[in-house]
Amino acid sequence: MASSSESENGTSQEVFHKDAPKVSRRQKSLFVSVSSTTWGLPEPVLRVGNRTIFTHGRPPWYNVEGQTQQPLVIGICGGSASGKTSVARAIIESLDVQWVSLLSMDSYYKVLNSEQKLQAAACKYNFDHPNAFDFDLLEAHLRRLREGKTIEVPEYDFKTHSRTSKTNTVYGANIIIIEGILAFYSQGVTKLMDLKVFVDTDADERLARRLRRDITERGRELNDVLVQYSRFVKPSYEQFIAPSMAQADIIIPRGGQNIVALQLIVQHINKRLKQCGLCSRHELAKFPPGQMNGIVSSADSNGGTNWEGHSKDKRDGDVDNATHDCHRLRNSSRQQYLNNSMSDKICLPPQLHVLPTTPQRLGLHTLIRDRNTDQDAFVFYSERLMRPLCEAAMNLLPHMDVDIETPQGITYRGRQLATGTQVCGVSILRAGEALEPALCAVYKDVRLGKILIQTNPDTGEPELHYIRLPRDIKDCFVILMDATVATGAAAIMAMRILVEHDVPEDRIILISLIMATQGVHSVAYTYPKAHIVTTAVDPGLNESYHIIPGVGNFGDRYFGTTLDCLPETRFLFACHSSNLLILPSPVVF
């Protein structure tokens, strides 16, 4: 499956999903985030407009500490048209991993000036020389991928010899493959590689492949290709590419046709690739509450929270000290954090902000928790809770004093958002989308992003399916919205995505109507600088990881997809504002 989607305020992304057509046994899902547009990729499974929805998702790529595992970086070098891409594809298809990122050096050609474009048009510009590549950008991108962060890879147009306005979003992965004719030239890039493979193919065969590729794919003339080959390609191979063979760990004769060599490489990679322990929903669910910063509370029967030891001003005012204490606990081991638990009271982290307990709030919780409340009433009373929840999140944004003049001509000292403050709302689909209208009502000009995370029914782990975020989200305060937080697995994954998009941790505000104590502590431990806002904290989870007492399945009750509302157990629903079509099971009409 492949996709390339781009919107005015969203990221563009290209993903490859290999799924064999056999149905006799369960197939492995493989995803490749690629930088090159020259790969022949099949059609996506489901496309709505210019968006693509994946039917399989990316599993957690981080451990219980919220840290990414170290990826394996494979460099593939060889002469022009030697079969580097075929080797990369063969390796990807044979590896037993679920997510791979591929970088092609074809995307890192430098932008040509007017004089150089004239030289290129006259076949007098050497594209095979090291000076033609932007190695600094390539090294910077490779370092970011090793850190698990996203990159925006430029798209190079070989017909105009310039970069287009579009970019391809490439995500960090378990395995990163970089391929190019000069992949081993830069020492800075080579040092970041764990395995270096050189593809050695006969010169005549490389010339034949280059003729076919440049004429059919890049609109070149036969004579121009031959002149360029004899003038630049062949000398550059002898001067720069062939000597780099000495740096290779493995040399593959005959390229992608050498099946035996490819099998040996795959065996070697699988042997070196150690799958680290990933973030487990089960581990998060058994995360008990612990004492933090002397803040202790006990949950009441109505889902509220009775605080002990601190006033509200103390809890919400000293954010810096609270963050410091929580960061100190995060630096300690997870087991030390667990050993601080208290069996008789719920100890809540300092960055948690719970709406004050009032008769109105308890009354609203009574109505939405009642199993006999119909859908219309459930939606109405839930939205009544969402508005003050969003207001509370806005209080955490930076404000400044301002003097204004009233209609009576009197100066009034007030407050407003600090100059330059940008706010973005990101909903975790599908339940988190229910909070979008409330946020838009509170902040008129808020921009919205969406992240689709669903639980794998076989593994019980959250899986990433879809991302649509503003390009400048790193400059925004992000209000992350989810209707309920049980173990915190989906919230942690969404926050990890935001961090990988360079959103500062202290600019993330997670809001949710109801949270379980396990989810609160999991999120607070993993991201101690982020804020958490909720209307109620429930005591715990049952064996199915459902919040107790909770509200049931919020998404089903809010969108009307409960079984008692539908004639068949197989159902179809649509997320109204995201244009996402989700089919949990075959539809019977």
DSSP tag of 109:
B
3-state secondary structure 194-262: CEEEEEECCHHHHHHHHHHHHHHHCCCCHHHHHHHHHHHHHHHHHHHHHHHHHHCCEEEECHHHCHHHH
**pLDDT number for residue 23:** 34
**Two structure tokens written together for 70:** 């170290």
How many angstroms separate the CA atoms of 324 and 109, rounded?
A: 45
How many angstroms separate the CA atoms of 244 and 331, rounded?
A: 43
How many angstroms separate the CA atoms of 32 and 93, rounded?
A: 10
DSSP string for residues in 520-571: HHHHHHH-TTSEEEEEEEESEE-TTS-EES--S-HHHHHHT-SGGGSSSSS-
How many angstroms separate the CA atoms of 222 and 535, rounded?
A: 70
Helix and strand totals (H; E) in the chain? 18, 28
Strand 99-104 vs strand 151-157: parallel, antiparallel, or unpaired? unpaired
- DSSP SS3 for 153: strand
**pLDDT number for residue 261:** 85
How many angstroms separate the CA atoms of 480 and 393, rounded?
A: 10
Buried b (16+ CB within 10 A) or exposed e, 404-437: eeeeeeeeeeeeebeeeebbbbbbbbbbbbbbbe
How many angstroms separate the CA atoms of 524 and 505, rounded?
A: 11
Check if the beta carbon of residue 580 is closer than 8 Å to that of residue 586.
Answer: no
**pLDDT number for residue 139:** 92
Provide the 10 A C-beta neighbour count for residue 147: 12
Cβ neighbors of 376 (< 8 A, separation 6 or more) are: none
Nearest Cα residue to 114 out of 160, 152, 58: 160
Please report, in tens digits, the pLDDT of each residue of the chain (589 residues total). 333 334 334 443 333 334 433 333 334 444 555 555 444 333 333 344 444 344 345 666 666 555 666 788 999 998 888 888 888 888 887 776 666 788 888 889 888 888 888 888 887 888 889 999 999 999 999 998 888 777 888 888 877 777 787 888 777 777 888 989 999 999 999 999 988 999 988 888 888 888 888 788 777 778 878 888 888 888 889 899 999 998 998 898 877 778 888 888 888 877 766 554 444 555 565 555 443 333 333 334 344 443 333 334 433 444 444 444 444 544 554 445 444 444 344 577 888 999 998 999 999 999 989 889 898 999 999 999 999 999 999 999 999 999 999 999 999 999 999 988 899 999 998 888 999 999 999 998 899 999 988 887 776 778 888 888 888 898 999 999 998 898 888 888 899 889 888 899 999 999 999 998 888 888 888 888 899 999 999 888 888 788 888 888 888 888 888 655 544 433 344 444 444 444 443 333 2
**pLDDT number for residue 20:** 35
**Two structure tokens written together for 205:** 């065969």
Nearest Cα residue to 255 out of 91, 105, 86: 86
**pLDDT number for residue 285:** 58
Nearest Cα residue to 169 out of 18, 37, 29: 37
Q: H-type helices in 299-418, by residue range?
A: 312-317, 319-331, 334-339, 359-369, 375-394
Helix or strand holding residue 143 (H, E): helix 135-146
Report CA 37 to chain centroid distance, whole Å. Answer: 21
Task: Kindly list the distances between the CA atom of residue 165 and the CA atoms of 155, 156, 162, 398, in Å, as whole numbers in the listed order.
Answer: 8, 9, 10, 34
The length of the chain is: 589
Check if the beta carbon of residue 505 is closer than 8 Å to that of residue 529.
Answer: yes
Radius of gyration of the chain (CA): 27
Report CA 554 to chain centroid distance, whole Å. Answer: 24
Nearest Cα residue to 471 out of 490, 494, 491, 447: 447
Q: Which amino acid, 549?
A: P
For 219: left if phi > 0, alpha if psi spans -120 to 50, otherwise beta; the answer is left
Nearest 5 degrees, angle CA 368-CA 369-CA 372? 85
β-bridge mates for residue 182, sequence order = none
**Two structure tokens written together for 175:** 């395995």
- Enumerate domains of the chain plus CATH numbers: 25-272 (3.40.50.300), 281-398+417-582 (3.40.50.2020)
Which residue carries 């046709």 as its tokens?
A: 257
362-368 CB contacts, 8 Å cutoff, 24+ apart: 362/302, 362/303, 362/304, 365/302, 365/303, 365/304, 365/535, 365/536, 366/302, 368/513, 368/551
**pLDDT number for residue 425:** 93
Provide the 10 A C-beta neighbour count for residue 317: 12
How many angstroms separate the CA atoms of 323 and 343, rounded?
A: 24
pTM: 0.62
Q: Which amino acid, 222?
A: L
Cβ neighbors of 253 (< 8 A, separation 6 or more) are: 200, 201, 261
Q: H-type helices in 446-505, by residue range?
A: 489-500
| Residue 251 backbone phi and psi in degrees, to 5 | -115, 130
How many angstroms separate the CA atoms of 419 and 190, rounded?
A: 44
**Two structure tokens written together for 393:** 């999140």
How many angstroms separate the CA atoms of 21 and 182, rounded?
A: 36
How many angstroms separate the CA atoms of 194 and 191, rounded?
A: 8
**pLDDT number for residue 77:** 92
Does residue 539 have a cis bond before it (omega within 30 degrees)?
no
**pLDDT number for residue 341:** 43
